[in-house]
Amino acid sequence: MTSVRHSVRAILFDGDDVVLFRRVRAGREPYWITPGGGVEPTDTSPEAALRRELDEELGATTGPALQVFTLVEPGRLSTVFACRLVSLDLSRRSGPEFLEPDIGLHEVRRVRPEEVRALNMVPPELGEFISANAATLPALLDAATYAPGRYRPVVDVHLLLIDGGAPVHRGVSTGGVKVLLGRRQGTGYADGEWQIMPSGHLEEGESVVDTAVREAREELGIEVDGCEVVHVMHHRNAGGTARIGMFLVPRSITGIPVNAEPHKCAELAWFPLDRLPERTVPYARAGVEAVRRALASRPPGLPAAVGAAAVVSGSPVFSLHGWDVPGSADLASEAVRAGFEEVTVCLVALLDGAVLVHSDDETDRLPATVVRPGEGVQAALARLAPVGEVSFAGADDYVSPRGRTGRRLAFSARPAEAPEGLVPLPAGSLGRLPYAEGVFVRRASSGLLYDLSGR
């Protein structure tokens, strides 16, 4: 039986370009290849092999990797993935092909995908595939990362069950009023923290009232009626994504709330509106506080169950939460809350209008480091360079060469002089930075955080 060698290849997008190697070897016409190599016995999966190869050949980390193509050649089966570059550090590459001069050169080049078919690609079928799918592949990656096309935020629906006791009048404290919360578990986000119960995501074809009724039935085993929106919040997680929160209260409840989803909720408990537990999800805390203010200003004489669902005059019905520039502690906490296994910090240091970078013969890169266990974000930044005060400049997510999910936090600073080991790019230039790092530089240079405009 003829043995078949398995390998992996990466169609690696950096912005609108793909990253290729131009191979120069003695006695042979220069040719082009994609990053990748053979699957080794220690690789747990083809994707694990891909991430190892990208680290060995480019010192690269990427976002999600999608299997898009299988190439069959005599004696070889190649699995081809598409992915987007997050970071690139050629000083980390360790593959034997870069340590043995007799093998020739691997020149890192960025090429428009539609132009790849005109190169001397090996194998040529892969070059043809890249060019033929120049528009499709980026769209697939966008769909794997965020909603493509028109922006469609997640809509959260929170139903607040209010245990009122005595009537509450306009301007009087709601300290005697309680709200039902649940302690999250097994969800992968904010496990161990308290959240409004019930809560869930709006699904296709539902109204927000439909969602509230469904979630009350699924999570608590109760029926609710007369649900009305008391507050709407546009929220953004620190370093993460934005979403719309709809906060409702019911006019009537049938049944007694029980923990109907113990695999997601460790316990239920009632808490005073103005004394929530310390470990309450910040987003939920802000929503409860908005509803508490609405209840405190409702028309006098209404019992809590009815007044909670009454139209409230004089109180805000909309708020923004999380749109101020977050601090480093908030960013680190949100990364933990979201279940990331590691956090990387990178520095956008600007000196006289020029960005300071590590530079080598083929690429430039921003200084970056993984936050060590027990270390704070500020301490990790201090290991990069003594730059003093910093400002948050954006975040993105990645998967490390070892398969660990991570969030990268970028911070900008304006040092008085260039720290050791960093050199300035020409003023206004992004040099040979990876596209994702160029986005951080643009944000820091303009002062506009979360600006997603092109390079």
DSSP character string of 62-112:
ES--EEEEEEEETTEEEEEEEEEEEEE-GGG---GGGT-GGG-EEEEEEE-
> Cis link prior to 123 (omega < 30° from 0)?
yes
Output helix, strand, coil percentages for the chain, rounded to the nearest 5: 25, 35, 40
CA distance 185 to 195: 11
230 vs 151: CA distance, rounded Å: 25
Q: pLDDT 10s per residue in the chain (455 long)?
A: 567 899 999 999 999 999 999 999 888 999 999 999 999 999 999 999 999 999 999 999 999 999 998 988 888 899 999 999 999 999 888 876 666 767 788 899 999 999 999 999 999 999 999 999 999 999 888 877 654 456 778 999 999 999 864 333 333 344 578 999 999 999 999 999 999 999 999 998 899 999 999 999 999 999 999 999 999 999 999 987 899 999 999 999 999 999 999 999 999 999 999 999 999 999 999 999 999 888 777 655 444 444 444 444 445 588 899 988 899 999 999 999 999 999 999 999 999 889 999 998 889 999 999 999 999 999 999 999 888 889 999 999 999 999 999 999 999 999 989 999 999 998 778 889 999 999 999 989 875 443 333 33
Phi, psi (rounded to 5 degrees) for 96: -60, -25
Listed residue (449, 451, 453) closest to 238, CA to CA: 449
Burial class of 279 by CB neighbour count within 10 A (0 to 12, 13 to 18, 19+): exposed
In one letter, which amino acid is 432? R
Supply φ then ψ for residue 308, to 5 degrees: -65, -30
* Cβ atoms < 10 Å from Cβ of 271: 16
CB 247 within 8 A of CB 232: yes
Q: What is the DSSP letter of 326?
A: P
CA max distance for the chain: 93
Rounded Cα distance, 403 and 341, in Å: 10
Alpha helix positions (H), 8-71: 46-58
Q: Which residue has the tokens 């003023």?
A: 427
Q: State the pTM of this model.
A: 0.81
Q: How far apart are CA 112 and CA 13, in angstroms?
A: 10
Q: Pick the closest to residue 371 from 345, 340, 399 (CA basis).
A: 345
Under a CB-based contact definition with an 8 Å cutoff, are residues 315 and 293 in contact? yes
Instruction: Enter the tokens of residue 104.
Output: 């020739």
